Structures are given as structure tokens and as C-alpha cells.
Amino acid sequence: MAPVEVRDLSKRFGSVLAVNNLSFDIEAGRVTGFLGPNGAGKSTTLRALLGLVRPTTGTATFGGLRYEELERPSEQVGAVLEDASFHPGRTARNHLRVLAVIGDHPFERVDAVLEDVGLTEAADRRAGGFSMGMKQRLGIAAALLGDPEVLILDEPTNGLDPPGIAWMRGVVREQASRGRAVLISSHLLAEVAQSVDDVVVIARGELRGQGTLEAVLGGDEGLSTLVRAQDNDRLVRALRAAGHTVQSLGDGLLVPGVSPEQVGVVAGDAGIYLVHLAAQARSLEQAFFALTGEPTT
Amino acid sequence: MTLLLRGELLKLRTTRTFVALVGAALALSLLVVVLSTLLSDEFAPGDAATLFTADFTGLFIMLLGVIGMAGEWRHHTITGTILAAPDRLRLMAAKMLAYAAAGVLLSLIVTVTIMLVGTIILSSRGFDTVAFSDLLDILWRNLLVAALLGALGVGVGALIRNQIVAIIGVLIFGFVIEPALFSLVPDVGRYGPTAGAPSGIIDVNPFGESDDEDVLLAPGLAVLVMLGWIAVFFAAAGVRLRSRDLV
């Protein structure tokens, strides 16, 4: 049984279907990127997983148990959500001490996680005066307090500076190396591509791809063709009729997974004059956009 | 439940709000007792006993309960709180118990202090002081009222999540609506949650003459009425809290 299992999960808010029949697993010892554009349903899925949102249908479980059924949740799941906040008048140390008491963890763990996230010197400062980066670090410290089997991070790089992003990458890789399952959501592929092993890609609440990063999005060596015709609209129709995917890219067209020769044959057969034809390595972003239907320009 | 209760008590102790409200309750209660004992020319033991019910803990602990619960939404800490304690009803019950316990502690400090200071002043001015057994009687009633109002404050804060609206609502209800109701329709007003039933427990009518005390509920019935109010708020807030998606 996978540490995290999402099965046929749907969530409807009034007339809006935020998540539609979503199923995926997260494996131990791996970092899984949960990717999709803003509004794709990532946060809703994570909140359903954490028992904060009630699924309309389907289940989201940890080792077969819903979050609210976990005996000692902080030892099984650590989570940092996008809107994680702290009482502004409480110090970082006291915030963690409250969580330590509720989770039945010794106060020594508080000092340990404060050191792990580099907040020892700021431990007795009130959280209301913390920068965004310090709040993210405090959130991570809270999530790590119970040394959980599963770590869930919702858009963890938001508001972080480059050193902060690098630090975050180190944290997730270190957790995975210790056998923890890490699920990290982001709408920015570039910020997580270097740290994830697997990806789950969603858009408009639906699963668009799941597997290793290479299997789902391909490498940066993936072949594509960049083409521009006198009549781009006719060429799009011809390429689509030939079974190819076409994306708009500037004033030209990107045809993923197809060589320039193949594109030239389609154009020649349709009697379309080309003004530019070149091979182009497909980037991760372009593959991501192709999956999610986001514009590439 | 024990861990949750300890966690909530630690939360209470680690913000300045609690210290500020303890100070305010103590200062206000002392001010009333000191001025009354110093400025009055006549003081019967019965007057002194009534004065020692001037423990403002009830009001402040109720406001603290409102702030403690509604503040979870105001400061966006409710998500983290529920992640730590996923059973939302247990969480609310623990908060109610924590604020009830805090009310007892706060009232103990305030009541004992005003009793000591008041007795010293009365004694120095040559007035009769209140018998020790009567002081004990006042003390347990004050503690009980503070505990019940602390729990009720959490219920109000859980139901009315806008902290400012909840605080203003409690103040208007406690200082305007309930006194008016008590004066105009005492048969209804004596069941009120912020003044009517608590006055029954203390057995002192704060709105009328001393011979009006028979309009108050009997202490035992007043406790049951207060528990009923707490149960109503717990149930209503619990239904809302359990069914709410935290997005």
C-alpha cells in the first residue's frame, strides 16, 4: 500500500467542479511534484487529503486511513499549506511547543527542528515580525516536528528568495533520502524540476499525466519542430489532420514529437508554403504546457 | 483530550492578550472594591459580601474565550490547529475546558485579591468584616461563574467567527440587551447567559434593589441554565465547524 493514495477524488464547490475523478499514488523515498497551473485544483486536492475539505466523492488516504483517522497525525504527516499562518504575538519557540504538547513530542524536538531550519537565533522572536522566508521555515519546522513519514508542501517556494529556494530543495531531497514520501505542489515547473523524481500533472481538476519526470514530461532533448507558414491556420489544420499536436509559439507553431522532415511532408502535401522550418529541442515547460493546455508564449 | 487541553492552556499562556486581560480584570475589580470601601461612610457585612462579587473575571474570561476561538480565523491559524487536532469537536471541547480552567484560575486570583484588600481596608476603618465561611461561599460562586462564562465565550467565538463582531456582540448583549430584558421582563431576563443566570449563581441581583433577589434563579437551576446555553452554542458551532470546508 502506497503511503499516499488518492482514488476517484472529486470535489464540487457549488457549480464549480474543482477536482474531477482524480487518482494517483505517492511513493516512499521519492519526491513527487504535484503540478498544474493556478486554479487547477492542487490546493483543493491537498486539503481533501488533509481532511480540511470534504470530498464530494472518492477517497484520499495515508496508508489506507483518512487523515482524521490517524492515531498520531503529526508522526505520520507533516504539512505546510500555502496560507499557513501563526499567531503574531506568539514566539516561534512557543508556537512549536504548543504543537509539541498536542502531538506528545518532547520539547527537545522543538530545539532540534528550529536548528534544522536555521531559526535557532530567531526562536524567541514573535512570529508577527517574521519575513515570508522565515515563516516558510517555521512552517517546515512545524511539519517536521513529529518526524513524519509523509511531507506535504503546498507551493513552498512562494515568496522565497533564490537561497531560500535552494534550501527548500535541500530539505525535500534530504527527507526523500531518509525514506520519506514528499509531495510538493507548484504551478512553476522550473522551481521544482530539479528536486522531483515523479510528477502528477493536473489541469482543470483532471489528471493529465503521472509517472517519473522523464516519462511524463520528457527530457530537454525531446524533439520538436518550430515552423512558420505563409498561412499558419491552414498548416495547423493540415498538421492536426495528420494527427499531430500543434501549439502556438510567437508568430510560429511548435509541433512536439515531430521532425522537420515530417512537418515538411505534411505542408508539401497540402500545398502550403513554409517560411521557416527548424528542429527545436522541447523544453520541460513546453511539455508541461502541452499537457496542461496553457499558452506557450 | 489531555494533550489538547494542555496545548490550549499553553496557547493561552504564550500571548500577551491573556496577561493584559488578567491585569485589566484585576485592576478593574480592585478599583471598584478600593473606592467603595474607602469612600463609603457605612458598611454592613452584607454590603461587603455583595462587593466581593464585583469580580470582573467573568466578563474578561468570556471575552478571552471569544478572542481565543474567533482569533483562530482572524489570524488564519485554524488550518494549523485542525491539522494538529483533526477531530474538530474534541478541539472545541478542549478549548472550552481550557478557558473554563483559565476562568477558575483568573477568578481565584482576582477574588482572593479583592477579598484581602477589601477586608484590610474595612478592618482599618473599623467596619465589621465578612465571615470566613461567607467569603468561601462567594469564592466558589465566582469561580463557577468564571468557568462557565469562559466556556461560553469559546462557544460564541466558534459560532460568530468575526472576532470584532463577536466581541461587540457580547458587550452589547451583556451591557445593554440583557440588563434591559432583566428590568423589563425579569421572568425572561433571569435566564440570560451573560448576566441573568450568572447572577442566580452568585445570588446577587446586579440590576435591582436587594429585596429583588427573589427574581433570580436558584443557584442550582442557574448552573443548569448556563450549561444549557453552553450546550446550545457547542452544538450549533460544532455542526458548523464540522461541515465547513477549510479552503
Residue B210 confidence class, pLDDT cut points 50, 70, 90: very low
What is the grid cell recorded at B154?
469559546
Counting one residue from chain A and one from chain B, the pairs whose CB atoms sit within 8 A come to 81
B247·A44 Cβ contact <8 A:
yes
Identify the bridge partners of residue A254 per DSSP, sorted by sequence position.
Answer: A226, A247
C-alpha cell at position A147: 518526524
Q: Which residues of B touch A80 (CB under 8 A)?
A: none
Q: Please answer whether residues A62 and A70 qualify as being in contact, where contact means their C-beta atoms are separated by less than 8 angstroms.
A: yes
- Using alpha carbons, list the distances in angstroms from residue A115 to A111, A119, A276, B31, B162: 6, 6, 57, 47, 36
Distance CA B136, CA B141 (A): 9
Cβ contact A94–B10 (<8 Å): yes
Nearest chain A CA: its distance from B125 CA (Å): 44
Q: Give me the mean pLDDT over the A267-294 stretch.
A: 79
Which residue of chain A comes nearest to B4, CA vs CA? A102
| A133 min Cα distance to partner chain B (Å) | 18
Cα B196 to Cα B18: distance, rounded to the nearest angstrom: 26
Mean pLDDT of chain B: 87
Closest residue to A52, CB basis, from B11, B75, B246: B246
Return all residues near B6 (Cβ < 8 A) that are at least 6 apart.
A101, A102
| Chain A: closest CA distance from residue B15 (Å) | 6
The residues of B whose Cβ lies within 8 A of any Cβ of A are: 3-4, 6-7, 10-11, 14-17, 71, 75-77, 79-80, 82-87, 243, 245-247
Residue B2 has pLDDT above 50, yes or no: yes
Q: Which of B9, B12, B14, B83 to mutate to test the interface with A (most CBs of A within 10 A)?
A: B83
Interface contact B14-A90, CB threshold 8 A = yes
Mean residue pLDDT across chain A:
87
Strand A252-256 with A274-282, pairing: unpaired
- Strands A181-186 and A150-154, bridge-based pairing: parallel
pLDDT, greater one: A56 or B80: A56
Q: What's the average model confidence in pLDDT over B93-121?
A: 91
User: C-alpha B89: how far from its chain's center?
Assistant: 22
Residue A221: pLDDT over 60: no
Read off the C-alpha cell for A128.
508577527
- The phi and psi torsions of A248 (rounded to 5 degrees) equal -75, 135
Q: Is A228 exposed, middle or buried (0-12, 13-18, 19+ CB in 10 A)?
A: middle
Given A13, A90, A102, which is nearest B3 (Cβ)?
Answer: A102
Beta bridge mates, A57: A10
In the numeric block, which cell numbers belong to residue A61? 488516504
Does position A296 have pLDDT exceeding 50, yes or no? Answer: no
Q: What is the dihedral of CA B126, B130, B131, B134, to 10 degrees?
A: 180
Does pLDDT of B45 surpass 60?
A: yes
Question: From the candidates A10, A50, A80, A85, which should be mutated to test the interface with B, based on the most B CB atoms within 10 A?
Answer: A85
Q: Do the Cβ atoms of A87 and B15 come within 8 Å?
A: yes
Contact A239, A255 (CB under 8 A): yes
Which residue in this structure is represented by grid cell 464530494?
A56
Q: pTM score, two decimals?
A: 0.79
The CA-to-CA distance between both ends of chain B, in Å, stands at 26
Residues A257-282, mean pLDDT to the nearest whole number = 85
pLDDT score at A55: 93
Does ipTM come in above 0.90? no
Least CB–CB distance from A94: residue in B14, B85, B243: B14
Q: Quote the longest CA-to-CA distance of chain B.
A: 65
User: What whole-number distance in Å separates Cα of residue B161 and Cα of residue B173?
Assistant: 17
Q: Quick check: B83 and A94 CB within 8 A?
A: no
For residues A198 and A48, the answer to whether their CB atoms sit within 8 Å is: no
Q: Span A220-237, mean pLDDT?
A: 82
Q: Do A97 and B14 touch (CB under 8 A)?
A: yes
Confidence of residue B208 (pLDDT cuts 50, 70, 90): low
Report which of residues A99 and B213 the model is more confident about: A99
Mean pLDDT, range A102-126, rounded to an integer: 92
Of B93 and B50, the one with more pLDDT: B93
Give kind and range of the element (H or E) at residue B162: none
User: DSSP 3-state assignment of B65?
Assistant: helix
Report the residue from B77, B82, B87 with minimal CB separation from A87. Answer: B77
Binning chain B into helix, strand and coil, the percentages to the nearest 5 are 80, 0, 20
More confident residue, A180 or A222: A180
In Å, what is the CA distance from A162 to each residue of A121, A157, A158, B156?
A: 21, 9, 11, 45
pLDDT at B180: 87
Tell whether the model's pLDDT for residue A177 goes beyond 90. Answer: yes
- By the 8 A CB rule, do A79 and B83 touch? yes
Which residues from A are below 8 Å from B16, CB to CB? 89
- Highest mean pLDDT of the ranges B78-82, B162-166, B243-247: B162-166
**Per-residue pLDDT reduced to its tens digit, A180-207:** 999 999 887 777 777 888 889 888 888 8
pLDDT of A297 > 50? The answer is no
Edge-to-edge strand ranges of the sheet holding A222-229: A247-249, A252-256, A222-229, A274-282
Section B166-174 average pLDDT: 90
First to last CA, chain A: 41
The percent of residues in chain A predicted with pLDDT above 90, rounded, is 51
Give the three-state DSSP class for B59: helix
Q: Is A174 helix (H, G, I), strand (E, B) or coil?
A: helix
Rounded to an integer, what distance in angstroms lies between the CA atom of residue B51 and that of residue B35? 11
- For A126, name the nearest residue in chain B, comparing CA atoms only: B15
pLDDT at B99: 94
SS (H, E, C) A121-170: HHCCCEHHHCCHHHHHHHHHHHHHCCCCCEEEEECCCCCCCHHHHHHHHH
